[in-house]
């Protein structure tokens, strides 16, 4: 995979050694992407600059921006292109700790592959909106992400962590609850609470003789 151009014109990387002047675009002052040489004065341009110049030429006559010659003709230079792509650069994540360095041609491989730079910032694959370094992506998606898929330990239903631990937990029929009367039974499944109260010794019930009093079932 070839190195990917950036929006600034040339290759805006941190080079291991200062790039030769023969590789520098006269407009953006960076090692040229798709270099073209002018016939009139021999200056080097990025292809993107020439394309923008052609668009502008539809409105105004375009002269050479350096020597002002009206005979502004350029041609691609593959030799300079190869020289630029063979320049050695540091990883764009060098400040974060990445030790990689290599040719311009291979930096997009290093950054773009699925097992790429450990220090590259990537978005969570679960689309939770979190941005983490590549080296922490697996631990985030499997143990921290609120949108990771989990299984309810009580009823076995699958869902996102934030839903299972939130709305579902409030409704799960098999979630263990303490007896509303705090009896010695310990916990009761949510779906069984109503039936449990029908036999709970601490549930208040009316006297069977219709005297109007309410007592705990154990004292009736």
What confidence score (pLDDT) does residue 212 get? 79
Query: Which domains occur in the chain, in start order?
Result: 21-110 (3.30.40.10), 114-144 (no CATH), 187-219 (no CATH)
pTM: predicted TM-score of the whole model, two decimal places: 0.65
What confidence score (pLDDT) does residue 194 get? 95
What confidence score (pLDDT) does residue 57 get? 52
What confidence score (pLDDT) does residue 5 get? 46
- State the 10-residue block means of pLDDT for the chain, 220 residues long: 55 95 93 93 89 59 79 90 96 94 92 80 93 94 96 96 95 96 92 94 88 85
Q: Which of 92, 134, 87 is nearest to 114 (CA)?
A: 134
The Cα 207–Cα 174 span in angstroms is 33
The answer to whether the beta carbons of residues 119 and 97 sit under 8 Å apart is yes
């Amino acid at each position: 995979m070839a190195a990917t151009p950036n929006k600034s014109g040339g290759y805006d990387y941190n080079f291991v050694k200062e790039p030769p002047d023969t590789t520098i675009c006269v407009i953006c002052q960076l090692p040229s992407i798709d270099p073209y040489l002018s016939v009139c004065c021999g200056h080097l341009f990025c292809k993107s600059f020439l394309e923008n110049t052609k668009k502008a030429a539809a409105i105004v006559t375009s002269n050479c921006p350096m020597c002002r010659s009206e005979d502004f003709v350029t041609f691609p230079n593959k030799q300079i292109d190869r020289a630029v792509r063979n320049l050695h650069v540091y990883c764009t994540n060098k400040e974060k700790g990445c030790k990689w360095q290599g040719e311009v041609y291979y930096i997009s491989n290093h950054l773009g592959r699925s097992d790429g730079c450990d220090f590259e910032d990537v978005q969570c694959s679960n689309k939770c909106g979190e941005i983490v370094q590549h080296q922490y992506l697996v631990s985030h998606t499997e143990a921290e992400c609120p949108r990771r898929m989990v299984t309810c330990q009580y009823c076995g239903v699958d869902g996102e962590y934030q839903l299972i631990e939130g709305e579902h937990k409030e409704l799960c029929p098999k979630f263990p609850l303490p007896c509303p009367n705090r009896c010695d039974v310990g916990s009761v499944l949510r779906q069984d609470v109503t039936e449990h109260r029908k036999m709970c010794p601490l549930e208040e019930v009316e006297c069977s003789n219709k005297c109007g009093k309410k007592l705990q079932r154990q004292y009736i």
